[in-house]
Amino acid sequence: MAPALQSLIVHEREDAARILKFVFRKRVDLRKLILKHCWFGEDGPGLLAKIVALYPNLEGLSLKRCFPITPTVCCLITRLKKLSELRLSCCLVC
């Protein structure tokens, strides 16, 4: 994966968790992460916690029709201090 990668879009993937875990192992400075119609699996909160921990400079985050999203995940998002764009559409918070 290119070290200069700043934006990542993952669309309609049931294996979004596997893709994200691959990205976590690479040294990239993501500024924008767009996830559409993705299934995070049973470790959804853990994946989002890792995103917040690994990419504190994230400026844009979009979670459209992504599952599962929990109130805990929503609280984690507030730790992204440089976040200027947030989209949570059609997400079931459970």
- Which tops the pLDDT comparison, 4 or 50? 50
pLDDT of residue 2: 66
**Is residue 68 in a domain?**
yes
- Note the pLDDT tens digit of each residue in 77-90: 889 999 999 998 77
Domain range enclosing 44: 7-89
**Is residue 12 in a domain?**
yes
Are 49 and 76 in contact, with CB atoms under 8 Å apart? yes
**Is residue 2 in a domain?**
no
**Is residue 94 in a domain?**
no
Token representation of residue 72: 């805990």
**Is residue 44 in a domain?**
yes
Are 16 and 43 in contact, with CB atoms under 8 Å apart? no
Are 47 and 20 in contact, with CB atoms under 8 Å apart? yes
Question: Residue 39, SS3?
Answer: strand
pLDDT of residue 93: 64
**Is residue 1 in a domain?**
no
pLDDT of residue 41: 78
Helix-strand-coil split of the chain, %, nearest 5:
35, 25, 40
**Is residue 52 in a domain?**
yes
- Note the pLDDT tens digit of each residue in 9-24: 999 988 888 888 888 8
By CB atoms closer than 10 A (0-12, 13-18, 19+), residue 35 is buried
Structural domain count of the chain: 1
